[in-house]
Amino acid sequence: MEKTLPPIPAKRYFTIGEVGDLCGVKPHVLRYWEQEFTQLRPMKRRGNRRYYQHHEVLMIRRIRDLLYDQGFTISGARNKMQELLQHERDKKHNGEVMLDGVEVVEMDSDDMDEFDALMAGDVTNEATLPLVQLRRELFEIRELLVFID
């Protein structure tokens, strides 16, 4: 039953219908899962409307995977979710960086040269300059963090 799910857009809140589309489940299933998985607590506003955050969408996808793809029962998936959350808490408590689902991009000397050319005024597209600066800063921060380990 494995089906490719769409990417999660960069939004702060998602409606139950949007989450259903992003996770491949119907809204009534999401409401049922809220009762079965205590970790799943979307914010409720006027008229009891549910608003899910990014981490909750990821949690729902994980629950869906456990139930639909791995064949867990509700009880088994609930226990597995407890184990996974405890494992993540332990990692955070021990100071480990959690990078699950993060793509690591390497920056080589050509990228640095491109950045230096942009900073020197050889800018072909000024709209991309802030992104290039941010990218360089992030790579520099990552290099600093390597020495902390």
- Judged by average pLDDT, the poorest of 38-42, 49-53, 78-82, 94-98 is 94-98
> Who has greater pLDDT, 90 or 19?
19
Q: pLDDT by residue (tens digit) across 83-101?
A: 988 887 777 777 665 555 5
Q: At residue 34, what is the residue type?
A: E
Phi, psi of 145 (to 5 degrees): -70, -25
Mean pLDDT computed over every residue of the chain: 81
**Is residue 112 pLDDT above 50, yes or no?**
yes
Quote the Cα angle for 52-4-101, to 5°.
Answer: 60
Each domain of the chain, given as residue ranges in start order, spans 14-93, 109-148
**Is residue 16 pLDDT above 80, yes or no?**
yes
Query: Band of the pLDDT at 149, cuts 50, 70, 90?
Result: very low
CATH fold, domain 14-93, is: Multidrug-efflux Transporter Regulator; Chain: A; Domain 2 (1.10.1660)
- Tell me what pLDDT residue 27 has: 96
Tokens of residue 80, six digits:
């597995």
- Tell me what pLDDT residue 92 has: 73
Classify residue 14 as exposed, middle or buried by CB count within 10 Å of its CB (0-12, 13-18, 19+). buried
